[in-house]
A and B are shown apart, each in its own frame.
Chain A
Amino acid sequence: MEICELTAHELAGRLQAREVSAEEATQACLDRIAETDAELGAYLTVTADLALEQARAVDSRRRAGEALPAVAGVPVAIKDVLCTRGVRTTCASRILENFVPPYDAAAVERCNEAGLPMIGKTNMDEFAMGSSTENSAFKVTRNPRAIDRVPGGSSGGSAAAVAGNEAFWALGSDTGGSIRQPASLCGLVGIKPTYGRVSRYGLIAYASSLDQVGPLTKDVRDAALLLGVIAGHDGRDSTSADLPVPDYVAELEKGVQGLKAGVPAQLLGQGIDPAVRDCVLAAVDRLVALGLEVEETQMPHIDYSLPVYYILAPAEAASNLARYDGVRYGHRTAKPVSDIYDMFAKTRSEGFGPEVRLRIMLGTYALSAGYYDAYYLKALRVRTLIKRNFDEAWQKYDVLLSPTSPTVAFKVGEKADDPLQMKLADICTIPINLAGIPAASVPCGEVDGLPVGLQIMGRPFQEDVILRVAYACEQTMSG
């Protein structure tokens, strides 16, 4: 087995045993990128020199006998939505094509502290708006499991990098399913942590009340490890939770005996490919065989998740993206302008892609005087009802189970002209962001040779319970 095919924890073991160096592991990733990324298109920026320098630093500290974090030296890929000091951060948008942040995002800082060399910045849907990574201004990313298909989105570059062994693990961001859906489509584990679990400082905002940073990994143990690296309180993010971070790995093998799960009927019905549904239900049955208690449950307000999301997220985005005006940084129009407002208009029309423009217009409309109450305010109220559905579920269940994506990976271009179908790709994942709860996607089978993900949702700040169930599911898959 080649080095770059190892999981992160396998590599960490070999690094600790000094069977391989961080520099060798990093070089192995870089070699694989050179070999396959022209076709995969996972990366927007490869930071080879920086990664090797960070890897050598870990190696020399290890040689000097320093106590290092368990995962030190395992290279990581970072979604291009997270600010990296001195390294171009584009959000896959023309408007930030040459933006070099003067600071690191909190999650990136924590990766640095853990000694993870940064391999590069990965492709994504522009400003994280999309479900296929086809909305990138720069390139299309393909699914390593089936090269004619999309990797999902918006963290499609991170997913493709890990699934294609161009990185051992990666960070993504999830506003409506942007970590879990690509994980599902690429056969990976992905976690959207509880809102507030991971600092958003330095995460370029799409929809501030929904965005979270999380891991994309080859297996559940890796996900537990990487979540442990990035989770925790940060005073620079007012919405960050000041709660202790449990040892996510320690709980993994505890099993599902004694846990109770609900399967919301609303997430198994209309729009879900029957083959995907059967695959997910078969995985649920395997968990039942391991002692998980399961029953179907009703969560009626979930049905309104998509329309609520497409009011709230664009509204926040319209305001969050207003700062990209060509005054301070980023793209500025080269065309002659009549006044400052003409400069804003030309800069923004040139800098933003069609999906971003669409969502800015949607959001502006929803916040406008005369429409605010009917759209934004009403959506906020329905969001509260959806949250309440989940609160009620936690009275009875430890976790909830559903498909992550209604379909397996679709072909590149297949839904590009059908925005509604594209948006339905997030039908099972969006309610989780609205409720602010944690959820993971874990591979649970295949349909037509393509991976299917099981979504496991949990109580706020109970990522450990989710990981236990995910680990059990993973065990039923191997062998």
Chain B
Amino acid sequence: MSWQPCVGLEVHVQLSTDSKMFCACPAEFGGEPNTRCCPVCLGLPGSLPVPNQEAIEHVLRTGLALNCQVAERCRFARKNYLYPDLAKNYQISQYDEPLTQDGYIDLDVNGQPVHIRIRRAHLEEDTGKNIHLLDGCSVVDYNRSGVPLMEVVTEPDFTSADEVRVYLTELRRILRYIGVSDADMEKGQMRCEPTVNLRNLQTDEATPKTEIKNLNSIRSVYEAVRYEIARQLRALETDEPLVQETRRWDETARQTVSMRRKETADDYMYFPDPDLVPLEPSSDWVADIRASIAELPTARRRRFVEEYGLPEYDASVLTEEKAVADYFEAVAAASGDPKAASNWVMTEVLRYLNEEGVTVDRFPLSPECVAELIALTADGTLSATIAREVFARACRDGRSPRQIVEQDGLAQISDTSELAKLVDEAIAANPKAVEDFRAGKEKALGAIVGHIMRTTKGQANPQLVNDLLRQKLSAS
């Protein structure tokens, strides 16, 4: 019998808006407990919610990027349950009328195309945070209460942990590209709850679903899903019973552990929130948002391969972050040499960003500067080694490459008469190496070239030095 894993994902995304979902309080993470609250997000008697248009726009933008249908009319609904971190004891969410639904995303998983259906992307508000003190007391911080949250739900279309990992990486990339969230799982800006079960392809029989919680990185989602699929397959083989339950990922033990059984569905008594009027995104608004969505990462990656002739790997590195891709394209345009631009950005620029821990918008060199370096290398003014040195100096003191070359005298020595003098000196200074070379030891030439490079601090044109040296040694 063949059992296929079925995994569905519910992803919660904190939207990057200035203010909360239904009030003017700052949505920013942190702050002294209960200092970023007002009557609305504290759910005080008589307070009323007013929806944040920016958050609505973020969800519409996400829905469109995920090929979803945008509702002509939709509502907020109340999800009723009692919990201390929930200020009103109901969460304003969306139920049977989400903002966007019925989309899809096409992924490339280890070279194989995978099509995942998106059930919906909707809008809701976050809860506060219960804090359990050591003395047994519990307190609540409502700073997070009312922060806009988007929920992106897929159909149970994933059949492996690999597909889940690629989806989350791609979703994160898209969310950053379209500017709706930083989507950092480690910071809780993106939270993921997979649902896992197995389906028999012959009989359509299915095992009970388990939901996995406490996943704080894409890596832990990947591991937890892989573990859970294996656990369920093993249980089937050994005839162990499987139950519908919520399981927690234990990061240290690297396994899922049963949290609670779910024998009946929770009854959240959803109903349309009477405090909020129906949302009717106008077709003009939706068209504007659609038009404002920049090229998405997958499309851009493909274009980089086709337009610039870059290898697949380089294209994917360069498109990982929108700002880096933008920077690369600016360098390519300014230099007219996309391959060189790609080399410079992938090696020197990304290394600098990594080492300094900054994003590309804080990178000190303009794309034009890097283009200048490319030009100086191409016309022979700079050797590759010296070019890297010029790059470092430019990053340090903000001078342009041309200035550095002139002021610091770093231009490559390509003048043959000058080089001939240097070669003669080197031959005179290395009689042993000369003898060895003449005796057929090809390697000995390196020592003589090295001597010249040392005395010129790398400025001698190595190609010319090589040619001259061979000429002289064979002539005499």
Contact = CB atoms under 8 A, between A and B. Distances in A.
Contacts of B271: 315, 319, 367, 372, 376
B265 interface: yes
Interface string B93-131: 000000000000000000000000000000000000000
Interface string A362-374: 0010011100100
Contacts of A364: 269
Nearest to A348: B82
Contacts, number: 96
A318 B268 CA distance: 12
A82 B276 contact: no
A467 to B, nearest CB: 27
B403 interface: no
A203 interface: yes
A344 B89 CA distance: 11
B128 to A, nearest CB: 10
Contacts of B42: 328
A89 B45 CA distance: 10
B89 A201 contact: no
Contact of A328 (B80, B87, B275): B87
Contacts of B172: none
A315 B77 CA distance: 13
Contacts of A235: 50
B290 interface: no
B49 interface: yes
A203 B39 CA distance: 13
**Contact size range, B:** 20 to 34
B44 A329 contact: yes
Q: Chain B interface mostly helix, strand, loop or mixed?
A: loop
A254 interface: no
Given A209-B274, A368-B267, A322 B48 contact: no
A419 B78 CA distance: 30
Interface string B330-370: 00000000000000000000000000000000000000000
A336 to B, nearest CB: 14
A207 B271 CA distance: 13
B33 interface: no
Contacts of B39: 101-103
Interface in A316-340: 316, 318-319, 322-323, 325, 327-329, 340
A82 to B, nearest CB: 7
Given A316-B274, A319-B271, A204 B45 contact: yes
B48 A236 contact: yes
Nearest to A377: B271
Contacts of A203: 46
Interface residues of A, number: 43
B26 interface: no
B48 A367 contact: no
Contacts of A96: 45
Interface string A194-227: 0000001111110111000000000000000000
A367 B49 contact: no
Nearest to B42: A328
B97 to A, nearest CB: 14
Contacts of A328: 42-44, 87, 140
B90 interface: yes
B48 A238 contact: yes
A238 B45 contact: no
A91 interface: yes
Given A322-B82, A325-B89, A208 B45 contact: no
A162 B88 CA distance: 35
Contacts of B311: none
A102 B82 contact: no
Contacts of A103: 39, 44
Contact of A344 (B43, B82, B140, B276): B82
Given A235-B50, A327-B84, A368-B267, A322 B45 contact: no
B46 A204 contact: yes
B385 interface: no
Contacts of A318: 80, 269
Contacts of B44: 83, 101-103, 328-329
Given A101-B46, A102-B44, A319-B271, A239 B90 contact: no
11 contacts: A83-B44, A201-B46, A201-B47, A236-B48, A322-B82, A323-B87, A323-B88, A328-B87, A364-B269, A367-B269, A372-B271
Q: Top 7 closest A-B pairs, CB basis?
A: A322-B89, A209-B274, A367-B269, A208-B274, A202-B46, A204-B45, A83-B46
Interface of B: 39, 42-51, 78, 80, 82-84, 87-90, 138, 140, 265, 267, 269, 271, 274-277
